[in-house]
């Protein structure tokens, strides 16, 4: 199917009444929950998952994508107005965004974020339209060898780009892989690590683990510091950027978009890398680098555009290869599997309406965000100031109902409670859970592809180095690992990531 007829199909799918409405609800709910302080993207998505359960696949996916963008957007609002980054990638937004808010320019910071995100979203969607079909047809030629190497690359990038030490991240990834092995072994039918419980024969449900660690774990961590939470929300006024603002933010938006589109495709942590490198780039190019950190609009517009562009293109590896690049995309895969869709290169040929409908609705969702958010920003600001003691019981209810309704399994609810405690523990010992979450989904895939490769080669591991694509991927992974040992990169990584803690 060529791009043009694909887009026509996509528009036809995305603009049906119910898809349009659910896209709108997704964006609205995503923003509403994403704006709440202390609720990150993964927690938001897992909390809102049950709203998509009863829907047909394409509608559910469109709504999920809407939730995802809404979450991203709501996160920047909280970052600007409250100086609270929902996740690492919006840390950069707090630097100048919150400074602007303190100076009474909150409206303009929000507008810069919204306009930058919309532009980036549009370009990102176009990029998906062009790149995804190419990559998907390319991916059909991949064998288990290439897939295994790609998975290794994904795990390595996620470890290198998390805050905290590499050793800790490596341990977290291994721990996630072990959790992923729980259940029936596909090849031999043996039950592994089930402790004799029939509930574990199908393995741990990915959404249950993610919801426990991120949703409930966040609640437990927040409750501990409840007394010390600041509740200062900056006032919003003067939404429209001046001519001077436009002039200062347009070039950063374009550059940020370019960076984000490219880095988002990287498996691992494209979003974080995109927003940090855009900030660094703008600071370097600016004629007034001293204004950065003191309320420079470039420092909001560029990284926000980069972040959103990367969020957009991070769908590419997920949709075309079936490999999640970020923990959030891993959760999206979990959601798709619940819907009975196996993401991968076949999705384009077997379910073109699903793929193209999603792509087109991404753009529609971004447009909705722009229209919705600028006028409604006052309402979101009010929502932010809801006290945490009212919020967290509701968060508990939504996550619990969500987890329960995946399989109507009470066992899953107990598991979520357990993983909530584990998530709290990881936070206390300074271990970032993202590599664990990725490894939980990538680990079983890695085992499967490793087995198949070595079965075909009769146990000869040199095939990983004789396939050019596999060799290239492994070299990139090795360079990344080595670069972290180099003092220069280490300094940049620490500077960039330490503030993410």
Partner 1 sequence: MKITQDAALGGLFVASGGIALLMALQYPFGTAGRMGPGYFPVIVSTLLVLTGTGILVRGRLASSEAIVHARWLPLLIVPGAVALFGLLVEKLGLPLAVMLLTVGAATASVGFQLSWKATSGAALFSAVCALVFVKLLGLPIPLVGSWLPALGV
Binding site for partner 1 (CB under 8 A): 50-51, 53-54, 165, 167-168, 170-171, 174-175, 177-178, 181, 185, 187-188, 190, 192-193, 216, 219-220, 223-227, 387-390, 392-394, 396-397, 400-401, 404-405, 408, 410-411, 413-414, 416-418, 420-421, 424-426, 428-431, 443, 447, 450-451, 454-455, 457-461
Nearest distance from C-beta of residue 348 to partner 1, angstroms: 30
Contact between residue 149 and residue 465 where contact means Cβ atoms under 8 Å apart: no
Q: What is the rounded CA–CA span in Å between residue 129 and residue 314?
A: 13
Nearer to partner 1, 171 or 352 (CB): 171
Tokens of 145: 């060898």
Nearer to partner 1, 3 or 421 (CB): 421
Nearest distance from C-beta of residue 50 to partner 1, angstroms: 6
Nearest distance from C-beta of residue 175 to partner 1, angstroms: 6
Q: Give CB contacts under 8 A, 24+ apart, made by 236-239.
A: 236/81, 236/106, 236/107, 236/110, 236/377, 236/378, 236/381, 237/104, 237/106, 237/107, 238/104, 238/105, 238/107, 238/108, 239/107, 239/108, 239/110, 239/111, 239/374, 239/377
Nearer to partner 1, 130 or 394 (CB): 394
Q: What is the rounded CA–CA span in Å between residue 497 and residue 272?
A: 9
Nearer to partner 1, 125 or 400 (CB): 400
Eight-state DSSP code of residue 408: T
Nearer to partner 1, 179 or 259 (CB): 179
Nearer to partner 1, 387 or 472 (CB): 387
Chain CA centroid to CA 434, Å: 10
Q: What is the rounded CA–CA span in Å between residue 32 and residue 234?
A: 18
200 φ/ψ angles, rounded to the nearest 5 degrees? -100, 0
Per DSSP, the three-state class of 416 is: helix
Nearest distance from C-beta of residue 405 to partner 1, angstroms: 5
> CA-CA distances (angstroms) from residue 258 to 94, 125, 147, 399?
22, 12, 27, 36
Nearer to partner 1, 323 or 436 (CB): 436
Per DSSP, the three-state class of 158 is: helix
Nearest distance from C-beta of residue 28 to partner 1, angstroms: 14
Nearest distance from C-beta of residue 30 to partner 1, angstroms: 16
DSSP E strands, 82-180 = none
Nearest distance from C-beta of residue 361 to partner 1, angstroms: 20
Nearer to partner 1, 284 or 429 (CB): 429
CA angle at 212 for the pair 428 and 343, rounded to the nearest 5°: 120
Contact between residue 158 and residue 173 where contact means Cβ atoms under 8 Å apart: yes
Contact between residue 313 and residue 261 where contact means Cβ atoms under 8 Å apart: yes
Nearer to partner 1, 26 or 252 (CB): 26
Find the helix or strand (DSSP H, E) in which 191 lies.
Answer: strand 191-192
Tokens of 147: 């897939």
Q: What is the rounded CA–CA span in Å between residue 303 and residue 280?
A: 9
Nearer to partner 1, 226 or 495 (CB): 226
Q: Give the Cβ contact number of residue 286 at 10 Å.
A: 17
Q: What is the rounded CA–CA span in Å between residue 295 and residue 317?
A: 35
Nearer to partner 1, 11 or 170 (CB): 170
Nearest distance from C-beta of residue 317 to partner 1, angstroms: 23
Least Cα distance to 354 among 57, 138, 130 occurs for 57
Tokens of 336: 């798709």
Contact between residue 176 and residue 300 where contact means Cβ atoms under 8 Å apart: no
Per DSSP, the three-state class of 224 is: helix
Per DSSP, the three-state class of 184 is: strand
Least Cα distance to 137 among 320, 296, 283 occurs for 320
Nearest distance from C-beta of residue 215 to partner 1, angstroms: 10
Nearer to partner 1, 5 or 498 (CB): 498
Nearest distance from C-beta of residue 324 to partner 1, angstroms: 19
Nearest distance from C-beta of residue 231 to partner 1, angstroms: 12
Nearest distance from C-beta of residue 56 to partner 1, angstroms: 13
């Amino acid at each position: 199917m060529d791009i043009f007829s694909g887009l026509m199909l996509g528009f036809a799918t995305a603009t049906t009444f119910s898809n349009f409405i659910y896209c709108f609800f997704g964006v609205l709910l995503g923003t509403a929950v994403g704006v709440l302080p202390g609720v990150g993207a993964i927690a938001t998505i897992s909390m809102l998952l049950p709203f998509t359960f009863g829907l047909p696949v394409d509608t559910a996916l469109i709504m999920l994508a809407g939730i995802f963008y809404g979450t991203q957007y709501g996160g920047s609002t909280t970052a600007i107005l409250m100086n609270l980054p929902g996740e690492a990638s919006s840390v950069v937004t707090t630097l100048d965004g919150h400074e602007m808010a303190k100076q009474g320019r909150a409206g303009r910071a929000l507008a810069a974020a919204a306009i930058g995100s919309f532009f980036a979203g549009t370009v990102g969607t176009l990029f998906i339209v062009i790149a995804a079909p190419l990559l998907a047809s390319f991916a059909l030629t991949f064998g288990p060898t290439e897939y295994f190497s790609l998975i290794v690359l994904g795990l390595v990038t996620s470890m290198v780009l998390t805050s905290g030490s590499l050793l800790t991240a490596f341990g977290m990834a291994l721990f996630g892989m072990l959790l992923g092995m729980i259940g029936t072994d596909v090849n031999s039918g043996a039950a592994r690590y089930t402790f004799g419980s029939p509930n574990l024969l199908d393995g741990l449900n990915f959404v249950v683990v993610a919801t426990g660690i991120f949703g409930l774990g966040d609640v437990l961590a927040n409750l501990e510091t409840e007394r010390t939470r600041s509740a200062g929300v900056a006032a919003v006024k003067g939404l429209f950027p001046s001519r001077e603002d436009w002039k200062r933010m347009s070039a950063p938006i374009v550059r940020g978009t370019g960076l984000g589109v490219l880095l988002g495709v990287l498996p691992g942590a494209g979003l974080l890398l995109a927003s940090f490198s855009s900030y660094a780039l703008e600071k370097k190019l600016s004629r007034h680098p001293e204004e950065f950190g003191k309320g420079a609009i470039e420092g909001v517009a560029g990284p926000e555009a980069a972040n959103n562009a990367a969020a957009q293109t991070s769908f590419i590896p997920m949709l075309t290869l079936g490999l999640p690049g970020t923990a959030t995309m891993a959760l999206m895969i979990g959601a798709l599997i619940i819907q009975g869709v196996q993401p991968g290169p076949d999705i384009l040929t077997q379910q073109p309406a699903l793929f193209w409908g999603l792509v087109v609705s991404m753009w529609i969702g971004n447009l909705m965000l722009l229209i919705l958010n600028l006028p409604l920003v006052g309402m979101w600001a009010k929502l932010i100031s809801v006290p945490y003691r009212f919020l967290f019981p509701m968060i508990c209810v939504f996550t619990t109902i969500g987890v329960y309704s995946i399989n109507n399994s009470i066992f899953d609810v107990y598991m979520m409670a357990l993983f909530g405690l584990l998530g709290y523990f990881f936070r206390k010992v300074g271990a970032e859970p993202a590599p664990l979450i990725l490894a939980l989904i990538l680990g079983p895939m890695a085992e499967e592809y490793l087995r198949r490769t070595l079965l075909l080669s009769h146990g000869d591991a040199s095939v990983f180095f004789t396939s050019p694509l596999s060799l290239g991927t492994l070299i990139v992974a090795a360079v990344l690992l080595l670069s972290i040992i180099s003092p220069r990169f280490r300094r940049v990584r620490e500077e960039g990531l330490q503030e993410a803690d």
